[in-house]
Chains A and B, each alone.
Chain A
Amino acid sequence: MKSSDVILQTTSKIVFFVILLFAIHLFFEGHYRPGGGFVGGLVTAGAIVLFLLAFDIKTVSILLPFDYKWVTAIGLLISILTAAGSIVFNVPFFTHTYDHFHLPLIGETSLHTAALFDLGVYLVVVGVTMTIIQTIGESE
């Protein structure tokens, strides 16, 4: 479907990044303000869907060359490894930990293993949503 929706395509190019930034914001804010991996993932998927609407599946799959089933799998893997990682330190499964670190560029930051788990959730949500939408969209 080649469309000539110039306005839609141009605005979506700008809006895509705004939405993506908002999604990333939601994701990182999760532990302190409303948000988190789930909503962040959904909003990210929403941004990609906007691209799908403005362009077509082929174009989007060239722009974002991901196999979303892999994204789902990697997300699950990250989550379960984060949860299982605690076993190495001889504490119960799913024990999180956090501490403050001094990182170059960003400075004093607190890093939390829960964020890693949330990253898994984020990837799963993006992967699943996009798998569903793409599959349905491709089927005729």
Chain B
Amino acid sequence: MSLLHIAILSPFIFAIFIPFFYKGFKSIHTGWFTLILPIVLFLYFLQFLPKVGGGSSVIETISWIPSLNIDFTVKVDGLSLLFALLITGIGSLVTLYSIYYLSKEKEQLNTFYVYLLLFMGAMLGVVLSDNLIVLYTFWEFTSFSSFFLIGYWFDREKSRYGAQKSMLITVFGGLSLLGGIILLYIMTGTFRISEMLANVDAIVNHALFIPAMIFILLGAFTKSAQFPFHIWLPDAMEAPTPVSAYLHSATMVKAGIYLVARVSPIFALDQSGLWIWLVGGIGIITLFWGSFNAIKQTDLKAILAFSTISQLGLIMSLLGVGAAALHYDYLDDNIFMVAIIAAVFHLINHATFKGSLFMVVGIIDHETGTRDIRRLGGLMQIMPITFTIAFIGAFSMAGIPPFNGFLSKEMFFTGMVRVLQMDIFHLETLGFLFPLIAWVASVFTFVYSMIVVWKTFAGKYQPDKLSKKAHEAPLGMLISPVILVSLVIIFGLFPNLLSDTIIAPAAQSIMPQFIFDDIHISHWHGWKSPELYMTIGVIVIGALLYLTAAKWKRVYRLFPEKLTFNKLYDALLPSLETGSNLFIRSHMTGFLRSYLAYIFIFFIGILGYTIWSKDAFTINRANTAEIGIYEIVLALLIVIGCVTIIFAKSRLTSIIALGAVGYTVSLFFVIFRAPDLALTQLVIETISVALFLLAFYHLPKKFRHEESRRFKLNNALISIAVGVIVALIAISSYSTKLFDSISKYYVEHTYDPAGGENMVNVILVDFRGFDTLFEISVLSIAGLGIYGLIKLRMTRRKEG
């Protein structure tokens, strides 16, 4: 157990003590205790920077289930460290923010911080695990803790709906991820990612390569809210705002991105182009769809949710397009590498500006009582600090200089424009779609970023529409967003602060085949670069669209509400329910006769098919004995008895005929020389006929009317088929006697050493007395059962 393992598990351990802090120190907000942990962890992870920046990685292993190749292996490389710093850094800020956001008096703080710590630990586990099974375990932990956090206000129906929806979708993805992991294990025989990388050639040419890729991508896409699995994210906005800021903008939704980046060295080598088209294509569709739908929203959090979807799509598409670099020469100046760097850079930038924007929305909600942009406006003078934060965050999101969003957006355009130079996997013909959609989506991004700022802070202040009197937020609430927007500006002005310390090592882990040592992010590309004109176009067209929004917003009405994926999801759940109900009702009739029919039909089907397919029917008359007159007479008697049972009009006749059949059977035992059986059969038949008569006598009057059995063709066919099958099997098995009987042994050993002369009895009590022991047990249970049934029924009736 190394310090790294303790670091991952510490949030889980710490979570145990949270309730004690909550109960023990009522006067202190529980968040202050919680805050210690992420800060310590952040500082701890910072010390890895020089080591990882130098290109090496740290690996620690403890044994978990060694017999199944599952060990808790932790690996810190550039990518893991980037995510770990994001998780702990933003985790600290969010905890600090939540101390001021959540009221000590009104909320159940202990559960909140327990869930939050569970989530933090799980997320650290996801990004630091090198063993895929361990990664999957933590992956599901994030799903669960996110479920708890979304449903934090569990008395609201919308919270429960959102929590259920996110749970169903992410667990669906999680399970398919598990499938992908298992396929990878089949291909390589290891769960360790680093060992898989060593074996990558065997995976690429394996038949299971494509299925494994699709399964893993399903897991990543559902977690990262990619099209069409994005529908859970807007509904997850029912969670408290710190949760939305932390989980649904900065960390959990990036777990899918992390996964894609992590398995990129394996799957990006794919020779069919599926990886580029799936990751890049779905990413760019998500980018467009998210930004297009964000404009339609009137709730600030919903706008930010769709914006998150769209930005995640952006990062995803960069990862997909960046994979193309592997299909070209391995030179240092590979022009397609820029996409990977852009993805890493934007990942950081998005976490900073989106986190601050969510916190701003939380402040507005907290101080005005609403998040609806139709009721907000004119808050610029009232909340100047909040406005500044929102301004910087939104302009960074829109991609306007000098903020960091501008830089990563520029690099994004560079990456997309360079797709035009690719000549593989149909990218030479359809590749133009990437820069085109990217540009259109960026225009929409600009428009909704402007909506977030100006609709909220500009315009006229309408105090009558607000439930509270608006005022500036308390200082404590402002600390976290201020830190985040400071980072937005710092990264914007000095982007190369990050390039060597964290971006290069992270990109290195995504594409180990290349050397990323000289990354230089610059503001100015010169007049010749198309990115400049694209950005200018975004600003000009975006501004125009924003100003004329009232006119063209009717576009959204063209798109029928019924065709959205939300409606599909909402229809799917009840229809699955009714469908399974219908299915169950269609065959679970509740009638014993139907179930008997199923059992017999399967019996006929399986046995009949086996006889037919194995060609098993044989007749061999070598073993058959002479048929005497007695046998024929008795057989006739039995047949008459059976026919009488079936066709008798009265039940009494049937009972008597059944008795006759039983006695004839005992006569058979007599002529086949089985005196013990004959004796027992006679007595037992007498008792059972007496019991039948008893049952008959106690039939209710209503059902005693004598009526012959109704004829049903199905039943007749089934019964005939069963009879025929059994007869065929009996004849065939008698005709193919493979071995001699073992009865010779019994004959020889009955007197010596068993000490008896009646072989049947000696077998029953001596050779195979075990069976008899349990048969008398069966008999005792039956007797006690009857006793219990009758006696207990009577007492219960008395009570009722």
B776 touches A35 (CB 8 A): no
User: What are the residues of chain B within 8 A of A131 when measuring CB–CB?
Assistant: 783-784, 786-787
Within 8 Å CB of B776, what residues of A? 75-76, 79, 120-121, 124-125
Q: Give the chain B neighbours of A38 by CB distance below 8 A.
A: 680, 764
Which residues of A in the span 17-35 have a Cβ within 8 Å of any Cβ on B?
Answer: 26, 29-35
Query: Within 8 Å CB of A125, what residues of B?
Result: 776, 779
Q: Tell me, yes or no, whether A90 is within 8 Å of chain B by CB.
A: no
B780 at the A interface (CB under 8 A): yes
User: Does chain A have a CB within 8 A of B754?
Assistant: yes
Q: How far is the CA of A35 from the CA of B770 in the complex (A)?
A: 19
| Contacts of B676-698 to chain A: CB distance below 8 A | 676, 679-680, 683-684, 687, 691, 694
Q: Is B189 an interface residue (CB 8 A)?
A: no
Complex contact A118–B765 (CB within 8 A):
yes
* Bound CA–CA A39/B791 (angstroms): 28
CB-based nearest B residue for A72: B780
Provided the pairs A135-B790, A139-B794 are in contact, do residues A124 and B766 lie with their beta carbons within 8 angstroms? no
Does B211 belong to the interface (CB within 8 Å)? no
Distance of A31 Cα from B773 Cα, bound (Å): 17
What 1/0 mask marks residues of chain A from 62 to 76 whose CB sits below 8 Å from any chain B CB? 000000010011011
Q: B757 — nearest CB in chain A belongs to which residue?
A: A32
A54 in the interface (beta carbon within 8 A): no
Q: Which residues on the B side are within 8 Å of A118 (C-beta)?
A: 761, 765
Residue count of chain B within 8 Å CB distance of chain A? 36
A110 at the interface (CB under 8 A from B): yes
Q: Contact between B680 and A132 (Cβ–Cβ < 8 Å)?
A: no
Task: Enumerate chain A residues within 8 angstroms of B791, measured Cβ to Cβ.
Answer: 135
Q: Are B758 and A30 in contact (CB under 8 A)?
A: yes
Chain B nearest CB from A135 CB (Å) reads 5
Partner among B684, B754, B766, B770 whose Cβ is within 8 Å of the Cβ of A42: B684
Interchain CB contact under 8 A, B694 and A114: no
Is A94's CB under 8 angstroms from B769's CB? Answer: yes
Beta-carbon contact of A36 and B676 below 8 Å? yes
> How far is it, in angstroms, between the C-alpha of A135 and the C-alpha of B765 when the chains are bound?
29
Report yes or no: A43 in contact with B683, Cβ–Cβ below 8 A. Answer: yes
- A140 — nearest CB in chain B belongs to which residue? B794
A43 and chain B: residue at smallest CB distance? B683
Are B758 and A127 touching (Cβ within 8 A)?
no
Known: A34-B675, A39-B683. A135 touches B758 (CB 8 A): no
Is A117 part of the binding interface, using a Cβ–Cβ cutoff of 8 Å?
yes
Which of B684, B779, B791, B794 neighbours the largest number of chain A CB atoms within 10 Å of its CB? B779
Using an 8 Å CB-CB cutoff, how does the interface string of A104-128 with B read, 1 for contact, 0 for none? Answer: 0000001010100110110011011
**Chain B residue at smallest Cβ distance from A116:** B765
* Residues of chain A with a CB closer than 8 A to B679's CB: 26, 34-35, 39
In the assembled complex, which residues on chain B have CB atoms less than 8 Å from the CB atom of A32?
756-758
Beta-carbon contacts of B776-800 to A below 8 Å, as 1s and 0s?
A: 1101101110110011001000000
Would you give the 0/1 interface string for B726-757, flagging 1 where the beta carbon is closer than 8 Å to chain A? 00000000000000000000000000001111
Chain B residues, CB < 8 A from A69? 783-784, 787
Contact B758 A34 (CB under 8 A): yes
**Structural contact, A128 and B783, CB atoms closer than 8 A:** yes
A76 to B781, CA, bound (A): 11
A85 within 8 A of B: no
Which residues of chain B are within 8 angstroms of A35 by Cβ–Cβ distance?
A: 676, 679, 758, 761
Q: For residue B696, give the distance in angstroms from its CB to the closest CB of chain A.
A: 13
Q: Specify the chain A residue showing the minimal Cβ separation from B678.
A: A34
**Residues of chain B contacted by A135 (CB below 8 angstroms):** 786-787, 790-791
Q: Indicate if the CB atoms of A110 and B755 lie closer than 8 Å.
A: yes
B772 at interface by CB-CB < 8 Å: yes
**Is B214 part of the contact surface with A, judged by Cβ < 8 Å?**
no
Residue in chain A with minimal CB distance to B675: A34
Complex CA–CA separation, A118 to B684 (angstroms): 18
Shortest CB distance B461–A (Å) = 86
Q: Are B773 and A79 in contact (CB under 8 A)?
A: yes
Contact B780 A124 (CB under 8 A): yes
Contact of B769 among A46, A110, A117, A129 (CB under 8 A): A117
> Does A136 sit at the interface, judged by CB under 8 A?
yes
Q: Is the CB of B762 within 8 A of A114?
A: yes
CB neighbours (8 Å) of B755 from chain A are 31, 96, 98, 110, 112, 114
Most A CB atoms within 10 A — which of B754, B773, B791?
Answer: B773
How far does the Cβ of B749 sit from chain A's closest Cβ, in whole Å? 13
- Chain A residues whose C-beta falls within 8 Å of the C-beta of B772 in the assembled complex: 79, 117, 121
- Bound complex: CA of A82 vs CA of B783, how far in Å? 22
Min C-beta distance of B25 to chain A, whole Å: 63
Residues in A with CB closer than 8 Å to B694 are 136
Nearest-Cβ distance from residue A129 to partner chain B, whole angstroms: 7
A57 interface contact, C-beta 8 A? no
Residue of B nearest to A97 (CB): B755
Which residues of A are found within 8 Å of B794, using beta-carbon distances? 139
How far does the Cβ of B60 sit from chain A's closest Cβ, in whole Å? 55
A134–B787 Cα distance when bound, in Å, is 9
Residues in B neighbouring A72, C-beta threshold 8 A: 780, 783-784
The reply to whether B757 and A127 contact each other, CB–CB distance below 8 Å, is no
Residues of A within 8 A of B790 (CB): 135-136, 139
Q: Would you call A83 an interface residue if the criterion is a C-beta within 8 Å of the partner chain's C-beta atoms?
A: yes
**Taking the nearest CB of chain A, how far is it from the CB of B772, in angstroms?**
7
Question: Can you sample 13 A-B contacts with CB below 8 Å?
Answer: A31-B756, A34-B676, A36-B676, A46-B683, A79-B772, A110-B755, A112-B755, A114-B766, A124-B779, A128-B780, A129-B783, A131-B786, A132-B786
Beyond contacts A39-B676, A72-B784, A132-B782: 7 other A-B pairs, Cβ-Cβ < 8 A, are A35-B758, A36-B761, A69-B783, A96-B769, A110-B755, A114-B766, A127-B780
Q: Which 6 A-B pairs have the closest CB atoms?
A: A128-B783, A34-B675, A31-B756, A32-B757, A98-B755, A124-B776
